[in-house]
Structure 1
Amino acid sequence: MKERERRQGIVVVNTGEGKGKSSSAFGMVFRAAGWGMKVCVIQYIKGKWQTGEQKASERFDNIEWHVLGDGFTWDTKNPEQDIKTSREIWEFSKQKILSEEYDFVLLDEINYCCGYHWISGQEIADFIAHEKPPWMHLVLTGRNAAPEVIEVAHTVTEMTKIKHAYAQDIKAAQGVEF
């Protein structure tokens, strides 16, 4: 593993309507952990859902996992609470990033918060450009990535949905979706 001072931190955005944004990011989480990097995962939307990735992370002593969202909020009954929760998670995320304790940070589903205007894309982009340690890898997932965030990222992938099992009345499958 490169020493932090010699490492160029990469900012990755996974966005789009298709499946695989978080799954791709979790692959990077385990890759980084496998190389001995200290990893922090912060989930914005998922709520208290138990996932296979989170269970697998418990086998690593260098992955810290935080599930902080209120759950699937696109059918929200309380948008004020969603904004408050998102802002609190964003402040927590900034503290974790600025602590310089981690080599790799995943902000899972943060892009939704921008799409719903709960957090400003410009605010996130400014933080990335001016405050994120230059050696830290940062991954942001979720639909509706803000144009400002896309602009400051090094790598942006848009997942395109061609077909999804849910449209065929197949429920989320353990081991595939969670």
Structure 2
Amino acid sequence: MAEIVYCSYQKAEGGPSDEVKAYISNFFRDRLDKNWIVYIEPFFNGQQPDIVLLHPEKGIMVWEIALSSDDPGLALRRAVSVRNAMIDLYIPTLGERLYQNKWFIKALKVGLYIPSLTRKEIINKLSRIKNSQYASIIGKDGVEMNQAPFVWNTECFKDIPERLELVEALKTWLNPPYHRSEMGKAFNFRDISRF
């Protein structure tokens, strides 16, 4: 059973989005082994993807949830944007590894869950988006855990000498030690008169 880390700085409202996130995070928790960490709404420097999966030897996976079936491509692009930020901006080691070995992209996956469509319907809607075939997809019909989206055939992180530092850096970015609300408050110019 995977570990779940609740990262959100926002107060849960109990809306449809929260119910869907709870469902899919429990799905991952119950079906992935104990080495996986499931981050719910990680902060990630303000981008806040819905769910991020991290395994210290296999890699990382950014998941977006789309409640509307109108534009699944938008949710997929958000997941890709977070993954690219990890590669290009926040964790330089990921970008260096990818530059050295193109196969390393297997360690940096994206996924999309749309509870109102079947997996086949989602794939059909995404067919015109470049490289969408590399995304993992879950629809209302679910998926078996032995299917390709959930099985990393390579342990991409395992052979990296700086693996432990890389995993710790990812953990820190996903769930920083300070709560966002403790990082400061908006400055109110009306309060200047007090000084």
Q: TM-score category by the smaller chain?
A: under 0.3
- Structure with larger RCO (C-alpha < 8 A, sep 6+): 1
| Superposition TM-score, scaled by structure 1 size | 0.27
Structure having the higher Rg: 2
| Superposition TM-score, scaled by structure 2 size | 0.25
